Chains A and B, each alone.
Chain A
Amino acid sequence: MTHALMAAIGMPGFPPAEDLVRLLPVLILSTGFVLLLLLDLVTPPSARTALAVLSAVFLAATLGAVILGWFDTAHHGLAYYGSYAYDRFGLFVDGIILASALVVVLISPGYLNRRGLHYGEYYALILGATVGMMLLAAASSLVVIFLGIELLSVSLYILCGFAHTEERSQESALKYLMLGGFASGFLLYGMALVYGETGHTTLTGIRASLDALHGTDSLLLIGIGLMFVGFAFKISAAPFHTWTPDVYQGAPTSVTTFMSVTTKVAAFAALIRVFSSTFEGTYLKWNGIVAFVAIVSMVIGNLAALGQTSVKRMLAYSGVAQAGYMLIGVAVQSPQATVGSLYYLAAYAAMNIGAFAVITMMAGRGEDLDSYDSIRGLAFRRPYVAAAMGLFLFSLGGFPPTAGFFGKFFVFSAAIQHGQIALALWGIATSAVSVFYYLKVGLLMYSRPREGEAGYDWARTTVAGSVALAATTAGTLVLGIFTYLIYSAATLAQMGTFPVPPNS
C-alpha cells in the first residue's frame, strides 16, 4: 500500500516498482494472511474447513509464483536496497517451506476438529509464519533477517499455545517464547556488534567491509559468535536445544509438524547466507565453533533420543541430531557442502514432516499419539500408514534408497573431500547409533498389542491426510531415487545466490 502510494507521489530514492515483482511470492501469501483473518470473522464454525482450503490455495499459488520465479532469471538480484534477495537460493528454500506448509494445512482440519481447536486464526497464523520464513530465506540484510525470525517466531509462539486452555500447550508456548526471546537477544547483540564493526546492515555492505578490512577485531568476532548462538537456538542445535523436546511435545502435534521442519529450514537458509556467504572471509575464525556445535548436536541428539518413550520427544532429539548433520555443511567451506546442506534440508522436510504427519493424523480425541505404547500394533490396523511411517523412519536413519541416505551421503562426502574427516566420522558413528531408536519405533508398530491392554483409539485417515501421506512418501522416495533432479536444483540454487554464492 505504502509502496504504491509513494511510487505514485514519486518520492526520490523510493525502491523501483520492479521490486514488487521480486516480492511477488511474499505479497501473495501476505494477501492470503490478511484475507483469512477477515474471512474468519464471517465464517460460521461449521464451514471452517473452507478456510483450510483457501489457505491451501494461497500456498499453492505462492508455490506457483516461486516456481515461475525460479525460471525468471532476468529479475533475479537484490531488491529494496539490498535487503531482499530474489534468487534461486531463496526460491529453493521457499519451495521446501511452502510444500511443507501445504502438507501441514492438509492434515490440520481433521486433527484440529478432533482436538476441538478448529479456529480460523490457525490458518492465518500458519500463513503469517510462512511469510516470515520466506522473508528469512530471502533476507540479505540484518534487519530483514531479524524481522523474518521474529515474524515466524511470534506466529509460532501463538500456535504453540493454540490449545490455550491446556497446560501442556501453555507451557510449551511460554517456554518457547522465553527462550526464543533470549535467543533473539543474543542474535541482536551480535548484529549490533557486526553492524558497529563493519558500518553496514546489508550483507553486501558487510561483506565488502570485511573484504576491505583485512584483519578482524575481537568485537567483530564476538558479534559473529553471538549471531551464531542466536541461529543455533532457532535450528535447535545442542547445547542450545534444551527448549526443543518440551516445546515439541507440548504444542499441538500439527504445529509441531510445521515448526520442526520449516523453522529449521528457514533458519538454515539464513545461516548459510550469513555465514557461508557473507562471513566467508573470516571462515577460519569461526569454523571451529560451528564444527564443535555440529558434533555436540549429533552426539547429544542421538544419545538422548535413545532413552525416550514419547515419539514426539524422540523426534525432537532426532531433530537436534539432524541439525548437527546439516551444520557439517556450514562447517565445511566448499560449494559441495552448501549443496549438500540444501539437499539435506529438502530431504529432512520430506521425511520429518511425514513422520510427524503420521503422529498428527493418528492422534485420538483429546490426546496425542505420543507414547511408544500407543503406537504399538499400528501396522495391524493401519498397514499403509505404518508402512509410510516405516519408510520415514528408515529415511531418518539414513538407509538407502531414501532421501535421508543421500542427504547424509552428500554432506559427509563434502566433509571428506575437504579433508574434514573427523567431522564425517562423528557423523557416521552417531548415525549408526540413531538406527537403534528409529528401528525401535518401527518394530513397535509391527509388534502385536499386549494381551489385556486397552487398544489405542486411532483416528480414521481422512482423504486429505492420505494425500499428505502420499505426498511425503513420494517426496522421500523421489529425493532418494531421482537424486540427480534435486541435487542439480540445489547446485543451481547455490550458484545463483545473491549477493555472493556461499563458499564460491
Chain B
Amino acid sequence: MTAVDLLAYVVAGVALVSAAGVVLSAKTIYSALCLVGNMVSLAVLFLLLNAQFVAAVQIIIYAGAVMVLFVFIIALLDPGHDPDYEGPRRDPRLWVGIVAVGYITAQVFALAVNGTTYSKADHVLQGQRLAQAANPGDQHSFAFDPGSVNAAGNVQVLGRELFTTFLLPFEITSLLLIVAAVGAVYLTRRLPHAPAEPPGATAPVAALPEETAPEPGRETVGVG
C-alpha cells in the first residue's frame, strides 16, 4: 500500500462520516457543514483519481457556490432545530437505514471487486483508446500520469471532449441554467397584489410554536 492509497482510505472515511453527519445532525447548519466536509473530501478523492478539473469544479461550484447558498438560506430562515427530530438514538428508522447502508455497500463492494463487465471484455473501444494514447501528436501529451493509458482528467482532454463529443449536452446546460435563474427570480419575487386568501385557510400555522415563527419574513407577502 502506497502513501497515496493510505490517504485515499483516510479521506474515504472522512467522506463517509460526514455523509452520515448530514443525515444525523439535529441542527440544519451542522448538516450543511457536514455536507461541505463531504464535498471537500470528495474533491480530494477526485484529485487522487486523476480528475483535476472535476476536483476544482467540485470545490468552486459545489462546496463554494451551492453550499454558500444553502448556508445563506439557513442563516436567513434560521430553522434551528428540527422540531420533530430528536437525534439518531430516538428514531428506529435510522437504524433500519444504517443496516440498509451496510448491506447495500457490502453488496456493491463485493460485486465491484470482480471488476466491470466492460473491463473483462475485449472491447473495441479499449483498442481505440490505446491507439489514441500511442499517438504522440495528441493533446494527451500533457499527462499527469504518463504511465497511464491516457490522461483522462487533464483539462485539455475534458475541454476538447466538451466542445466536440459532448457539445450538445454542454449547450443544453446553458438552457437549464437560464430556466433555473428565471425560476428563482420569479419564485422569490413579491407579487404586486397578494391574493385575497382568508387567514383562516392556514389553520396549521396557528399551532406553531412561537420561537420558530419567522420574524424577519413577516413583512413579506405572507398570508394575512
Check A-B contact in the complex, CB < 8 A.
yes
Of the candidate stretches A163-171, A345-353, A416-424, the one touching chain B is: A163-171
Minimum CB distance partner of B118 in chain A: A199
Please tell me if the beta carbons of B172 and A147 are within 8 angstroms of each other in the complex: yes
Please tell me if the beta carbons of A205 and B187 are within 8 angstroms of each other in the complex: no
Minimum CB distance partner of B112 in chain A: A219
A162 to B195 Cα, complex, angstroms: 13
Please tell me if the beta carbons of A143 and B166 are within 8 angstroms of each other in the complex: yes
Give the shortest distance, in Å, between B8 (CB) and chain A (any CB). 18
Please tell me if the beta carbons of A34 and B178 are within 8 angstroms of each other in the complex: yes
Please tell me if the beta carbons of A14 and B167 are within 8 angstroms of each other in the complex: yes
A84 to B117 Cα, complex, angstroms: 26
Q: Which residues of B contact A330 (CB under 8 A)?
A: none
Please tell me if the beta carbons of A219 and B116 are within 8 angstroms of each other in the complex: yes
Over the window 176-206 of chain B, the binary record of Cβ atoms lying under 8 Å from chain A Cβ atoms (1 yes, 0 no) is: 1011101100110001011111000110000
A128 to B187 Cα, complex, angstroms: 16
A148 to B176 Cα, complex, angstroms: 9
Query: Is A218's beta carbon under 8 Å from chain B?
Result: yes
Q: A200 and B112 in contact (CB under 8 A), knowing A13-B164, A154-B179, A154-B183?
A: no
Please tell me if the beta carbons of B123 and A209 are within 8 angstroms of each other in the complex: yes
Please tell me if the beta carbons of A197 and B221 are within 8 angstroms of each other in the complex: no
Q: Which residues of A contact B176 (CB under 8 A)?
A: 147, 150-151, 154
Give the shortest distance, in Å, between A462 (CB) and chain B (any CB). 22
A141 to B170 Cα, complex, angstroms: 13
Please tell me if the beta carbons of B172 and A217 are within 8 angstroms of each other in the complex: no
Give the shortest distance, in Å, between A204 (CB) and chain B (any CB). 12
Partner among A23, A116, A121, A154 whose Cβ is within 8 Å of the Cβ of B186: A121
Please tell me if the beta carbons of A212 and B123 are within 8 angstroms of each other in the complex: yes
Query: Is B173's beta carbon under 8 Å from chain A?
Result: yes
Query: Is A271's beta carbon under 8 Å from chain B?
Result: no
Over the window 157-197 of chain A, the binary record of Cβ atoms lying under 8 Å from chain B Cβ atoms (1 yes, 0 no) is: 11001111111000001000000000000000000000011
Interface centre among B121, B124, B168, B223 (most CB of A within 10 A): B168
Query: Is A288's beta carbon under 8 Å from chain B?
Result: no
Q: Which residues of A contact B125 (CB under 8 A)?
A: 199-200, 205
Interface centre among B160, B173, B186 (most CB of A within 10 A): B186
Query: Is A3's beta carbon under 8 Å from chain B?
Result: yes
A164 to B223 Cα, complex, angstroms: 12
CB neighbors of A among B120-169 (8 A):
121, 123-126, 160, 163-169
A30 to B179 Cα, complex, angstroms: 11
Give the shortest distance, in Å, between B138 (CB) and chain A (any CB). 11
Give the shortest distance, in Å, between A154 (CB) and chain B (any CB). 5
A217 to B121 Cα, complex, angstroms: 11
Q: Which residues of A contact B173 (CB under 8 A)?
A: 147
Partner among A157, A165, A200, A217 whose Cβ is within 8 Å of the Cβ of B195: A165
Q: Which residues of A contact B1 (CB under 8 A)?
A: none
A477 to B179 Cα, complex, angstroms: 36
Interface centre among A81, A84, A199 (most CB of B within 10 A): A199
Minimum CB distance partner of B192 in chain A: A45
CB neighbors of B among A106-126 (8 A):
116, 119, 121, 124-125
A281 to B124 Cα, complex, angstroms: 19
Please tell me if the beta carbons of A158 and B164 are within 8 angstroms of each other in the complex: no
Query: Is B114's beta carbon under 8 Å from chain A?
Result: yes
Q: Which residues of B contact A84 (CB under 8 A)?
A: 168
Partner among B170, B175, B197 whose Cβ is within 8 Å of the Cβ of A30: B175
A366 to B195 Cα, complex, angstroms: 8
Please tell me if the beta carbons of A14 and B164 are within 8 angstroms of each other in the complex: yes
Interface centre among B108, B172, B173 (most CB of A within 10 A): B172
Query: Is B111's beta carbon under 8 Å from chain A?
Result: yes
Please tell me if the beta carbons of A128 and B175 are within 8 angstroms of each other in the complex: yes
Give the shortest distance, in Å, between B31 (CB) and chain A (any CB). 15
A13 to B159 Cα, complex, angstroms: 12
Please tell me if the beta carbons of A198 and B163 are within 8 angstroms of each other in the complex: no
Q: Which residues of A contact B168 (CB under 8 A)?
A: 15, 23, 79-80, 83-84, 144
Q: Which residues of B contact A37 (CB under 8 A)?
A: 178, 182
Minimum CB distance partner of B187 in chain A: A164
Give the shortest distance, in Å, between B108 (CB) and chain A (any CB). 7
Query: Is B82's beta carbon under 8 Å from chain A?
Result: no
Interface centre among B123, B173, B196 (most CB of A within 10 A): B123
Query: Is A6's beta carbon under 8 Å from chain B?
Result: yes
Query: Is A46's beta carbon under 8 Å from chain B?
Result: no
A450 to B39 Cα, complex, angstroms: 62
Q: A165 and B221 in contact (CB under 8 A), knowing A147-B172, A154-B180?
A: yes
Over the window 96-125 of chain B, the binary record of Cβ atoms lying under 8 Å from chain A Cβ atoms (1 yes, 0 no) is: 000000000000100110101111010111
Please tell me if the beta carbons of A151 and B164 are within 8 angstroms of each other in the complex: no
CB neighbors of A among B1-17 (8 A):
none
Partner among B112, B160, B178, B223 whose Cβ is within 8 Å of the Cβ of A13: B160
Please tell me if the beta carbons of B167 and A15 are within 8 angstroms of each other in the complex: yes
Minimum CB distance partner of B171 in chain A: A2
Q: Which residues of A contact B187 (CB under 8 A)?
A: 158, 161, 164, 173
A170 to B191 Cα, complex, angstroms: 14
Give the shortest distance, in Å, between B199 (CB) and chain A (any CB). 12
Partner among B123, B126, B166, B191 whose Cβ is within 8 Å of the Cβ of A165: B191
A208 to B118 Cα, complex, angstroms: 11
A30 to B221 Cα, complex, angstroms: 33
Please tell me if the beta carbons of B182 and A220 are within 8 angstroms of each other in the complex: no
Over the window 195-224 of chain B, the binary record of Cβ atoms lying under 8 Å from chain A Cβ atoms (1 yes, 0 no) is: 111000110000000000000000001010
Please tell me if the beta carbons of B179 and A151 are within 8 angstroms of each other in the complex: yes
Please tell me if the beta carbons of B197 and A166 are within 8 angstroms of each other in the complex: yes
CB neighbors of A among B57-85 (8 A):
none
Interface centre among B118, B169, B180 (most CB of A within 10 A): B169
Minimum CB distance partner of A129 in chain B: B179
Please tell me if the beta carbons of A197 and B118 are within 8 angstroms of each other in the complex: yes
A-B pairs with beta carbons under 8 Å apart, 23 shown: A2-B171, A3-B167, A13-B160, A79-B168, A80-B168, A83-B168, A84-B168, A116-B193, A119-B186, A125-B179, A151-B172, A154-B183, A155-B179, A158-B187, A165-B195, A167-B201, A197-B117, A198-B117, A199-B116, A199-B125, A209-B123, A219-B108, A222-B111
Q: Identify the 4 closest CB pairs spanning chains A and B, nearest first.
A: A158-B183, A199-B118, A13-B164, A80-B168
Interface residues of B (CB under 8 A from A): 108, 111-112, 114, 116-119, 121, 123-126, 160, 163-173, 175-176, 178-180, 182-183, 186-187, 191, 193-197, 201-202, 221, 223
Sample of 13 more A-B contacts, CB < 8 Å, known A121-B182, A205-B125, A217-B117? A30-B175, A81-B165, A125-B179, A154-B179, A162-B186, A196-B116, A212-B121, A212-B123, A212-B124, A213-B117, A217-B111, A222-B111, A366-B196
